[in-house]
Amino acid sequence: METQKIKNRTELIVYILAILGLVAVVNYFGIRWFKRIDMTEDKQYSVSSATKKVLKGLDDIINIKVFFSKNLPPHMHKTVTDVKDILSEYQAYAGKNLLITWEDPAENEDTKNLARSLGIPEVQLQTFEKDRQQVMNGYLGIAVLFEDKKEALPVVQNLQNLEYDLTMAIMKVSRSVEPHVGVLKMDTMPDLPPQYQAKVDMSGTTQKKLEQLITALRNTYKVSVVDLSKGEPIDSTIKTLIVPGVENVKNRKLFEIDQFFMKGGNLIMLADAMEIQFQYGIRARPQDSKVFDLLEHYGARVEKSLVLDASCGQVTIPQKYGPIQMNVPVPYPYFVRIGKSGFNSVNPAVAPLTEVVTPWVSPVTLLVDKADSAAADQKVKATVLAHSSEKSWTAQGSMDLNPQQQWAIPPEADMKQQNLMVYLNGSFTSYFAGKKVPPVHEPAANDTMSQINLTPEADDASREVVESNTDGHLVVIGDADMVAGQNATPNNVSLVLNLVDWLSLDNNLIAIRTRTMKDRTMNADLLQEGSSKPNLIRLVNILLMPVILVVIGLLIYFKRREPAAMSAAPSSAPATSGTPANKEENKG
């Protein structure tokens, strides 16, 4: 008996050790070959393939220092858990090339000074204790370090953007060269020292109009506002040039843009063919610019018209309700809304996007497949990046842009999709092939004095026209207002950032930035009054689903009741006493 007990205990210990060993082996291989099954819609609990690519490509050790206070309010505990989860996943894919340490600056004065030097501030956090709201100090920052480079996430608040912020910081500290992006200066105002800018109206300058876009670009790139007024070549270190409009682009500026493109630079052309004026009401007039000739030569024509779409954005207008005036949002077809279905689902720059609103956008016609176009003999492939909905149409000539009007919707036969953003790639020929270098200062046709060149441009004698390129990348958008002023919404800026990333870096950051932008619009056709679609969806969600559950429950109930009813029913056959054989015996 005692021997059997010893045997049983030994077997139990062996089983426990075997299970512990199996768990240890599984954990070991789980760390080395990390895999997570994430069934959420936007993969909230797993990093994207882009981040995996960045982490696996690290060739040196990156230090991530997490400065989180241990004594945080209870509602912040989930944030700490989520940060630990995502960092453990980063560690799994980066391996030994990622060193993660957690420190509490409140425990050590040296750690507090280190956090401050890395750009991690002490913040005030609200907490509730003993039914009272209190304020406490704490740390919620992350620093990414490599050699003498550092990037800081001062306060981790938005966990949806944490992956993008972390991956971007790792890329910024680990890259050897900072990519260079240029934004063409469109205004003619001379550069002023900072002390004089406050005394001058700078609202019309390129830097002020595109402030949000330029600020967002500087988080990732070295950004230069390119001034071509002196006729100098565009810096060859610029990878991508953004041209935010067509005004004030004369022949010499056009020549520099063309030569930048011919020498291997990438172009993003925001070419609005219609100028919107607000002096005497709101109206539009066609713009005359050499930029349109250049683009047509490359293979894309920006039409001098505006697109209207039933799927549109809204503008706020004042309306009176008796003595009270209120600002009311109304649909505005000239603000074309591009939804998920309007973006090219294959192109990585626009596929993740779900909504962009383009104000006063012109349609773009592709010419590369037309035999009578200048681009017919070029080896150029064209791709539509974004288009309007099927319920869109165009207007040209005299247009009423007033949002307070009854919109005349054309017949459906006159509606069709309009190309709004296109991408051309291939071997292009220069617009200036076989031509002379245009002068910096073009003389006026009827001004004799202006035709006298008092400052000869000696450098032009050594300039040679590059007549073609190979594997050129050109994006044309029929709208420059989408990233200017108040129209520069986060979604619109993200679109341009995606395009710059796609052309200047690679596809790594695109999926991360837009993965949390979801379109929940129930009815995109804002002009379709009285549509039953929203009400139908509401009724299905509110009534149909409960009705289906009730019907299923009744069917199950009656199905279970049938056997019980059958077993409880009395038998209709007469009772008999004995078998037929017994009856015969009784008769005998």
* Statement to judge: residues 419 and 298 lie in one domain: yes
Q: Which helix (H) or strand (E) holds 584?
A: helix 580-587
Q: Which residue has the tokens 């200066």?
A: 185
Q: Which residues of 237-272 are buried (b: 16+ CB within 10 A; e: fewer)?
A: ebbbbbbbbbeebbebbbbbbbbbbbeebbbbbbbb
Query: What predicted TM-score, i.e. pTM, was given to this entire model?
Result: 0.71
Instruction: Please report whether residue 42 resides in a domain.
Output: no
Same domain, 157 and 219: no
CA–CA separation, 469 and 430 (whole Å):
8
**Six token digits for residue 253:** 């500026």
In terms of domains, do 61 and 114 share one?
Answer: yes
Residue 448 counted as domain residue? no
Answer yes or no: do 299 and 224 share one domain: yes
Output the six-digit token pair for 10. 């030994």
Amino acid, single-letter form, for residue 231 = G
Q: 490 lies in a domain?
A: yes
Of 389, 356, 352, the residue nearest 479 (C-alpha): 356
| Phi/psi of residue 479, nearest 5 degrees | -160, 130
The answer to whether position 335 is within a domain reads yes
163 and 262 in a single domain? The answer is no
Give the C-alpha separation, 345 to 354, whole Å.
Answer: 11
**Count of Cβ atoms closer than 10 Å to residue 58 Cβ:** 18
Residues 374, 283 share a domain: yes
Question: Residue 422 gets which letter from DSSP?
Answer: E
So what's the pLDDT on residue 24? 84
Residue 577 included in any domain:
no
Cα atoms in the 13 Å half-sphere on the side-chain side of 522: 9
Same domain, 279 and 251: yes
- Count: domains in the chain: 4
Model pLDDT, residue 489: 93
What residues are paired with 383 via a beta bridge? 423
Q: How many residues does the chain have?
A: 588
Range of the domain at 4: 1-33
Let me know whether 299 and 227 are in one domain.
Answer: yes
pLDDT at position 295: 96
In this structure, the answer to whether residues 103 and 216 fall within a common structural domain is no
Task: Give 10-residue mean pLDDT values along the chain (588 residues).
Answer: 79 87 79 61 71 90 94 85 91 92 91 93 78 79 93 84 87 88 87 58 79 92 93 94 92 95 96 86 88 95 95 86 82 94 90 92 88 61 95 89 87 93 95 91 58 52 88 95 92 94 78 59 53 67 81 86 69 51 49
548 in the same domain as 511 = no
CATH of the domain at 128: 3.40.30.10
Is 475 within 8 Å of 298 (Cβ atoms)? no
Residues 369 and 506 in one domain: yes
State whether 233 and 98 are in the same domain.
Answer: no
